[in-house]
Amino acid sequence: MSSEIKVYRMAVCLYPGVTMLDFQGPVDILCSFGRKHRKSLASLFTTLPDVAIEEEYLSHNTEPVTPFTGAQIIPTMTYEQGLQTDFGIILVPGGPKEPKEIPPAIFEFLKKKSPETEYVLSVCTGSWVLAAAGVLNGKRATTNKALYKIVTEDTKDLNITWVPKARWVVNDDKHIWTASGVTAGMDLAYAFLVHLVGEKFADEMKGIVEFRTVKDSEEDEFATYHGLV
C-alpha cells in the first residue's frame, strides 16, 4: 500500500422511513477500509487498496432520522450543507414512501450534485427517488421488484429504460449504478468494489463479511417471483 490514499467521500442520503439495510449493508462493505479502520483491519487482508471510502449521513435537518425499522440515525450534515461539499459517491437508499412524501431537500441535492459526482448508487426504490430528481433521464435502471410496476407506471413519462430482470444495473459510463430490492444493495456494493479496487480485495472483503454474493447482474430470481418475466 502506498502512502497516498485516494479518499472518496460518500453522501448517504437519508429521509424519514428509509430502509436501513438498503444503506447499511453497502456501507459496511464499502466503508470498512476507511482511514480510521485501516490499522484494525490490516491483518485481515493480503493488502489494502490505495482507495478509501468514508461516509457522511445527510438529511433535511440534523434531527435524528427514524427509519422504517431499526434505530434512529443522527445525520452528520444537512442537504443544504451537502450542496457546498465535494463528494465522490452518492448512495440513495429506498423505503416504503413515494418520492412525493419525502422532504424536498433531497431532490435539490441530487439534481445539483449527481452530475458532478463520480458515482451515484441507489438501492431498492432509491432509484425512484433518483428518477423523481431527474437523474435517470436517458439511463437504464432497476428497482425493487415487488414495487416494479408501481415505480415504472409512475415514471412512464420519463425517458428511463427500466430493466425488469436485473439484480443491479450499471450504465456504460459507470456513473450510475442501481440495485434491486434491499439485499441487492450488497451485491451492487460487491460489484462496485470490484470496479473500484479489483476482484481480489473485493473477494477478501466478502469473506470477512461472510455473505454469498450474486456476481451475475442478470441473475434475478425475484423478477420471476413477481411475474415480471
pLDDT tens per residue across all 229 residues of the chain? 446 899 999 999 999 999 999 999 999 999 988 888 887 777 888 888 999 999 999 999 999 999 999 999 999 999 999 999 999 999 999 999 999 999 999 999 999 999 999 999 999 999 999 999 999 999 999 999 999 999 999 999 999 999 999 999 999 999 999 999 999 999 999 999 999 999 999 999 999 999 999 999 999 999 999 999 9
Q: Please name the residues in contact with 58: beta carbons below 8 A apart, sequence gap of 6 or more.
A: 11, 12, 13, 14, 75, 76, 77, 78, 79, 81, 82, 106, 109
Handedness of CA 92, 97, 100, 105 (dihedral sign): negative
CATH classification at residue 152: 3.40.50.880
Q: Is residue 1 part of a domain?
A: no
Q: Is residue 176 part of a domain?
A: yes
Q: State the Rg of the chain over Cα.
A: 17
**Residue-number span of the structural domain to which 155 is assigned:** 6-225
Q: Is residue 80 part of a domain?
A: yes
Tens of pLDDT, residues 198-215: 999 999 999 999 999 999
Q: Is residue 64 part of a domain?
A: yes
Verify whether residue 124 is a known catalytic residue: yes
From the list 124, 179, 196, 214, the catalytic residue is 124
99 secondary structure, DSSP code: G
Cell of 50: 490505495
Number of domains in the chain: 1
* Residue that has been written with the C-alpha cell 433521464 in this structure: 137
Q: Is residue 62 part of a domain?
A: yes
